[in-house]
Amino acid sequence: MANLVIVESPAKALTIKGYLGSNYKVVASIGHIRDLPKSSLGVDIDHHFEPHYINIRGKGDVIRQLKKEAKNAGKVYLATDPDREGEAISWHLAQTLDIPADKACRVCFNEITKNAVKAAIRVPRKIDLDLVNSQQARRILDRIVGYKLSPFLWKNVKSGLSAGRVQSVATRMIVDRENEIRNFTPQEYWTIDVTLGAEGGKTLNARFFGNRKGKVTLASEADANKVCDAVKNGQFTVLSVKRAQKVKQPAAPFTTSTMQQEAAKKLGFQSSRIMKVAQELYEGIDLGPELGGVQGLITYMRTDSLRVSSVAQEAALALIGEQFGKDYLPETPRVYRAKANAQDAHEAIRPSDVAIQPKAVRRMLSSDQYRLYKLIWERFVESQMAPAIFDTVLIETECGGYVFRTSGYNVRFPGFLALSDGSDETPDDEEENGGEALSISQIPDLAKKELLSLVGVDPAQHFTEPPARYNDATLVKLFEESGIGRPSTYATIITTIISRSYVKREGKSLAPTPLGEITTELLEKNFPEIVDHDFTAQMEDKLDGIENGGTTIEGVLGDFYGRFSKELTDADKETVKTEISVPEDVSDYVCERCGAKMVYKNGRFGRFLACPNYPECKNTKAVDKEGRPIEKERVAPVVADFKCEVCGGDMIERQGKFGTFYACANYPKCRFTKQKTTEIDTPCPICGAHVVIRFGRAGRKFYSCEKYPTCGFSSWDLPLKERCPDCGEPLFYRRSKKQIFCRNKNCGYKREEELPEVNE
């Protein structure tokens, strides 16, 4: 009797299925199967905040299938994600499938690799009820706030609004920043750059610093002119030349928060996109038989730990020593310490196998997957390397009692910077030099008390800038610093406040909408705790306390609800309905059907342009990131030279998620489709039929038998007519390595040769 392994996602199930053999069946629950009802509160506040769970609508078939599989299984292993949410899903599955709570059926793995999965299966544990209760408390708390507070907003603002515990605080942060920007008063300041002449015709650029007592700020033109008048006819003297070595340590491996911040800054990804791609890398990618088939490329991506396993660290050190030499290894293996409130259940985010380098798997990954994997891989390897060492120089010159500074640096030893060519990196405390970082070689070799002549002086007026609006990276950083939410929820928080029209994107920045500002003002007045940063952070700590067994659900929720219910009662008495009308976001684009100026709307799939005369005029337009309408060119459809196999109609060429395909022209009455393939002059190594070119995930090209899937042959590498001279098996060509090779593991024949591209 086979054992049953239950995971959340089909992709994860597909990956694990290849590791466990025929004695195991792996199925997916496709997320949660039970939750609080949508039509009612679902929490008995008067009886210890007892939740009432129901099966999620649409999950009936999944639940019936799981019950059937569990009944016929020898053992049932619950292998959901290794966090609070995953533990809760396992608990709900155990409840639904009648698995006793004290039965050891829970398995966890931090990475989806063959060794990790098999090791976890060998040592199942009981479901951690403290972890489950922590998730339940969070879910119940959010339900109480949302269910009780939303009707208040319907009554006093407008119908259809919804409130959330953490989302309301996040919206307030963005509103507060917008108010800072509006109330900002620019302050004038001046800089003075001088060009100084040294012996031998060499020059030195320096910037005004102050006097011998310290730094001085030039607040007006008069202040700047005073300095210029004092130095323009004088001679400069070198006060000091300070040379030093600066050591720059590598950054720690990624946590969820730092991964989101870095990917947002360097790759331009939004938080939701980052987490989606990271999930794909964790759940498994088909790397082909040479690299072990389907496997997860990174460890679990929802963590705030900086811990790294000794096995992974040793592998990284071996790779560094092999590729860069022993000088690039640290004196002792590095240990990074997380913040005091970090959850240390999982490792930091790292490659599952550091030996799988990004360039080796580039062709197997989509563009997003490759770029994020490369970022994670390089960050982890750099974190285990030796520090970078800089030679620095700081020169102070004086004239008329005023001090000017210049500074520069050279890289003495690149250390960890050698991996990603960080040639533009500077020491952490590098001084400014006219806005430019100079090389030491650009600075004349000066001595103390040496005299310099003034070649030119350049005063410039500036004004202080208001604080920038938050973007994904800076808002996630603020969440982390303030203790708002948890790493696994950051992306969801941002997505939610945008979808609810409390916040909008303007380029890469996040700005509040009028609705967000009015709602925040109303909540601040009547429910100050709900939108208070410190209170929300303290609540997160209390929820963590449940996980650690330090407190109970009833203790945390009872303490909160006593104050919240009183605020709700008082607010209902005092507040009168102030129905607002959110102004339309009018564009400069005219509706070609009725002539009205179109307005921006937010829909299920993001921002778009709509005619304001809806429903009389239903014209809409998709827009790009800058808000410009995307005009789709109408092209006559390409008709194939064969007919529909179902109804005999024409077949039309279309573009889809996985490349070009043909669809019946009578769609939707006839839904027959056929993928477009290109036949090449090579026989199938298995059955002898023709090999064709197909396109898989993200449009990646692969080769398969024309009879696929009846014949199971498929390959990323091009099959050839030529046979191996050693064993007689078919040869294959790998374009990335320009190599012809035999896939017979007992043979090993290969040769370097470049073949022309196959016409598609």
DSSP annotation string for 718-760: EEEEEE-TTT-PEEEEETTTTEEEE--TTT--EEE---PPPP-
On whether the CB atoms of residues 27 and 99 are closer than 8 A, the answer is no
CATH topology classification for 256-383: Topoisomerase I; domain 4 (1.10.290)
- 196: β partners: 204, 454
Q: Which segments in the chain show pLDDT lower than 50?
A: 431-435, 759-760
Helix (H) or strand (E) holding 494: helix 490-499
SS3 649: coil
409 noted as active-site residue: no
- What's the burial of 746, exposed, middle or buried (CB within 10 Å: 0-12/13-18/19+)? exposed
Into which CATH architecture does domain 188-249+390-463 fall? Distorted Sandwich (2.70)
- For 336-390, the DSSP string reads ----TT---SSPPB-BS-TTS-HHHHGGGS-HHHHHHHHHHHHHHHHHTSPPEEE
Pairing of strands 214-215, 438-439: unpaired
On whether the CB atoms of residues 270 and 606 are closer than 8 A, the answer is no
Q: Which of 429, 333, 424 is nearest to 385 (CA)?
A: 333
Cα angle, residue 509 at apex, residues 504 and 512 outer, rounded to 5°: 35
Residues in the chain: 760
Helix (H) or strand (E) holding 404: strand 402-413
Distance CA 659, CA 675 (A): 8
Class (C level, CATH) for 136-184+468-574? mainly alpha
Residue 341, pLDDT score: 58
| 564: its two tokens | 């919240």
Cα 358 to chain centroid, rounded: 18
On whether the CB atoms of residues 427 and 409 are closer than 8 A, the answer is yes
SS3 498: helix
Cα 459 to chain centroid, rounded: 43
- 334: β partners: none
Cα angle, residue 286 at apex, residues 281 and 292 outer, rounded to 5°: 105
* HSE (side-chain half, CA atoms, 13 Å) at 132: 17
Residue 693, pLDDT score: 85
Residue 433, pLDDT score: 47
Residues 115-174: pLDDT tens digits? 899 999 999 999 999 999 999 999 999 999 999 888 888 888 877 778 888 999 999 999
What pTM was estimated for this model as a whole? 0.74
Pairing of strands 438-439, 402-413: parallel
Delimit the domains of the chain by residue range: 3-127, 136-184+468-574, 188-249+390-463, 256-383, 585-622, 639-752
Distance CA 305, CA 256 (A): 9
Residue 432, pLDDT score: 47
* HSE (side-chain half, CA atoms, 13 Å) at 368: 17
Distance CA 604, CA 558 (A): 37
Distance CA 202, CA 525 (A): 65
CATH topology classification for 3-127: Rossmann fold (3.40.50)
SS3 692: strand
- State the catalytic residue, choosing from 19, 24, 77, 300: 300
Q: Which of 520, 522, 521, 502 is nearest to 512 (CA)?
A: 502
- What's the burial of 351, exposed, middle or buried (CB within 10 Å: 0-12/13-18/19+)? buried
Sign of the alpha-carbon torsion through 204, 209, 214, 220: positive
| 685: its two tokens | 């190594």
| 261: its two tokens | 């911040």
Query: Helix 256-267 vs helix 490-499: angle between axes, to the nearest 10 degrees?
Result: 60
- Cα maximum dimension of the chain: 97
